[in-house]
A = this chain, B = another copy of it.
Amino acid sequence: MAKRPDNGTPTNARAPRRSPGMVDVARLAGVSHMTVSRVINDQPTVSQVTRQRVLAAMSELGYRPNVAARALVTGRSRTLGVISVDTTLYGPASMLLAIERAAREVDYSVSIASLPGLDRRTLRDAFDALTSQAVEGIIAITPHVAATAALRHVPKDVPVVAVEGGKGPLPTVAVDQYLGASEATRHLLSLGHRTVGHIAGPSDWYEAQERERGWREMLVAEGREVPEVVRGDWSPRSGYAAAKQLLEERTRNVTALFVANDQMAIGALRALGEAGISVPRQMSLVGFDDIPEAEFFSPPLTTLRQEFGEVGRRSLELLLEQVEGAPRTRRRLVIPPQFVIRDSTASPE
Contact = CB atoms under 8 A, between A and B. Distances in A.
Nearest to A268: B296
Contact of A72 (B72, B134, B240, B273): B72
Interface stretch (A88-96, A206-214, A215-223): A88-96
A87 B97 contact: yes
A183 interface: no
Nearest to A75: B18
Contact of A236 (B100, B235, B295): B295
Interface in A242-272: 263, 266-267, 269-270
Contact of A112 (B112, B130, B297): B112
B71 A68 contact: yes
Interface string A74-91: 010101000000111010
Interface stretch (A28-36, A103-111, A163-171, A330-338): A103-111
A327 to B, nearest CB: 13
A111 B82 CA distance: 10
B237 A263 contact: no
A270 B298 contact: yes
Contact of A296 (B68, B71, B134, B269): B269
A152 to B, nearest CB: 19
A235 B296 CA distance: 10
A266 B112 contact: no
Contacts of A94: 88
- The copy count of this chain in the complex is 2
A253 B300 CA distance: 27
A292 B132 contact: no
A113 interface: yes
A270 B239 CA distance: 20
B134 A114 contact: no
A116 to B, nearest CB: 7
B72 A68 contact: yes
B79 A88 contact: no
A116 B101 contact: yes
A101 B96 CA distance: 16
A46 interface: no
Given A109-B111, A297-B270, A300-B270, A132 B235 contact: no
A104 B126 CA distance: 10
Interface string A281-313: 000000000001101111010000000000000
A96 to B, nearest CB: 6
